[in-house]
Amino acid sequence: MNRREALRLLATATALGLETPKVFAILRDARALVQTQPGRRTLSPDQNEIVTAIADMIIPRTETPGATDAGVPAFIDLIVTEWFTDEQRTRFREGLADIDVRAHHRFTKGFVECSPAQQAEILTEVGAQMLADAEATKRQTEPAGETKPRDNFYQTLRSLILTGYYTSEAGATAELNYHIIPDRFDSCADSRAGKEANR
């Protein structure tokens, strides 16, 4: 599998929410292949801080690693850099800017400077909008001349966070308890015992 194929798998999983064990194993291999990026390439430092804050709110560090521990912000920058189209990249940046604008309007400071309770209030608001957009898309019968609504930014961000986390070593082993190598050895059964049972 080359780097481009690995990115396609990760981006497709993000879009479709794929999670069967076989697909999950392939995604972990794909993530390992693309994890070699040198540093942030698309998101500005401020945008990266917003992504990091949101990722850590969605998957905080508890007795298991959090989103930042699992390298989720770097994963998101990688997908946005190497897989998103220019239009998707622009919408993603606009979505991050919108989060910051909401924080400034409501609390007169940037999202990252807000308290956890204030950040949660903003995410609750954009989450409600995400659900409303999803419901509208389900009910939509596009009249002539109207265009389909754009993808919801927060849905995209949440999908990236979850895919980035659960395909990481930390997310897979500590959170999902997924182990590629079994934790016990079951030897082969004695074939003679099977033959005697069939008599």
Q: Give the start-to-end residue ranges of the domains of the chain.
A: 3-140+149-180
Question: How many CB atoms lie under 10 A from the CB of residue 120?
Answer: 13
Q: Tell me: the pLDDT tens digits for 83-97?
A: 888 999 999 999 999
Confidence of residue 141 (pLDDT cuts 50, 70, 90): low
Q: How confident is the model at residue 46 (pLDDT cuts 50, 70, 90)?
A: very high
**Is the pLDDT at 144 greater than 70, yes or no?**
no
**170, 69 Cβ separation under 8 angstroms:** yes
pLDDT at 98: 95
How high is the mean pLDDT of the chain?
Answer: 75
- Which ranges of 2-58 does DSSP label H, i.e. alpha helix? 3-16, 21-34, 45-58
